[in-house]
Amino acid sequence: MPKLNENYQNLKESYLFSEIAHRVGAYTAAHPDKEVIRLGIGDVTLPLGSMAIRGLHSGVDAMADPGTFKGYGPEQGYLFLRNAISGYYARNGVCVDPEDIFISDGAKSDTGNISELFDADNIILIPDPVYPVYVDSNLMSGKTITYMSGNAENQFLPMPDRHIHADIIYLCSPNNPTGAVYNKSQLKEWVDYALENEAVILFDSAYEAFICDPGLPRSIYAVEGAKKCAVEFCSLSKTAGFTGTRCGYTVVPRELKFKCSDGRELSLHAMWNRRQSTKFNGTSYIIQKGAKAVFSPEGMAQCQENIRYYQENARLIADTLARKNIPFFGGIHSPYIWFECPDGMESWQFFDYLLGHAQIVGTPGAGFGQNGRCYFRLTAFGSHENTKKAMERFEALF
């Protein structure tokens, strides 16, 4: 009989989206005449831009010709894409060597898999609330997590506590679900803290393309010294609408070296390379051709156009909340708007209230951690028409 990894029993039931579907299903069955508007989706809705489609087609065509056919590619990704991503960083004022970039099928895999490189005996800081993958992937391998409180007082941007030592720090900026973004001096505090503690920062910047203030950092490498202490995860999912197409990238700088128990230095870059070469056979050539086209000037312009569409929805939601004097976070450099549930309601209670009284579906904050218990997330990934209609209903309700 196999002895099972019983750490899986420490995982909380992942019932957030199934419970939402269940409650919405029950509501629509009871009220078939009511039109329900979904503003809970954490997924893009606009189709890929024509440049990405053209890139994907060129990849498919290459597969049909014996002269250009591709079998297994490099596990780290094709250099043509790693170079294109390095160029994208450079246009945002950050220098990242293509050799330090690993192409993957998305940031969820990489943020989940990275914990394999670390021993269970580490002090691991994870913000609460946050994207649940960091918590669950660490629990699966029997690790202990120390939560950092994100709350209205710190604008949902936990800062380092100099009295506490940490070894591994997860940060997500712009944050899912709160939409909060660290500024450069705040990130510098984190980098300084990590360097002092010889800690590593695992920085998820999946929403960097939503940042519209050029003064805000879109990469942790905008901070000096970060290459000695930070890994960065990025994805084309929200940038280019690749949630179903699947492509991400992770930067593991060769400067990242840590002493192991026998005193020798180990390179995280070499370890990640070994991990990926052993367990991953690379992202599809076709997808990488599509991704490369995304980083062309026209490809980027098309992505920006879609992002602007979502940002307009976010503004509509934010303006409505502001008019109703409901304090909120996010909504500017992020597709997410995060606010405290009115009248002291808990998030599932407010979910039912909003569904029952305005037929709007959002996401209860409780799904993102203890600190989300009385908060709610709306997203900008709906259509203009539906977002506008939903906000008219919201306005009438409060």
Ligand X SMILES: *Cc1c(COP(=O)(O)O)cnc(C)c1O
User: Which listed range, 58-66, 147-155, 230-238, 261-269, lies at the site for ligand X (CB under 6 A)?
Assistant: 230-238
State yes or no: residue 107 binds ligand X (CB under 6 A).
yes
Which residue, 178 or 186, has its beta carbon nearer to ligand X? 178
How far from chain centre, in Å, is Cα 6?
28
Q: Return d(Cα 176, Cα 193) in angstroms, integer.
A: 23
Which residue, 150 or 248, has its beta carbon nearer to ligand X? 248
**Please, which of residues 177-216 interact with ligand X by CB under 6 A?**
204, 206
Contact with ligand X (CB under 6 A): which of 39, 114, 125, 172? 172
State yes or no: residue 218 binds ligand X (CB under 6 A).
no
Residue 258 neighbours by CB under 8 Å, 6+ apart = 198, 200, 265, 266, 268
Question: Measured from the CB of residue 203, what is the shortest distance to ligand X in angstroms?
Answer: 11
Distances (CA, A) of 165 to 139, 188, 195, 257: 20, 17, 11, 19
Question: Measured from the CB of residue 246, what is the shortest distance to ligand X in angstroms?
Answer: 7
Q: What do you get for the CA distance between the two ends of the chain, in Å?
A: 58
Over the window 308 to 347, marking each residue x when it contacts ligand X by CB under 6 A and - when it does not, the resulting string is: ----------------------------------------
Asked if 150 and 178 touch (Cβ cutoff 8 Å), the reply is yes
Q: Would you give the DSSP letter of residue 1?
A: -
Over the window 50 to 89, marking each residue x when it contacts ligand X by CB under 6 A and - when it does not, the resulting string is: ----------------------------------------
Dihedrals φ, ψ of 123, to 5°?
A: -95, 115
Q: Return d(Cα 318, Cα 333) in angstroms, integer.
A: 12
State yes or no: residue 377 binds ligand X (CB under 6 A).
no
Which residue, 59 or 106, has its beta carbon nearer to ligand X? 106
Question: Measured from the CB of residue 29, what is the shortest distance to ligand X in angstroms?
Answer: 30
Asked if 361 and 325 touch (Cβ cutoff 8 Å), the reply is no
For the sheet containing 101-104, what is the strand order? 101-104, 248-251, 230-235, 200-204, 168-172, 124-128, 145-149
Contact with ligand X (CB under 6 A): which of 59, 129, 150, 248? 248
The contact set with ligand X (CB under 6 A) reads 106-108, 131, 172, 176, 204, 206, 235, 237-238, 243, 248
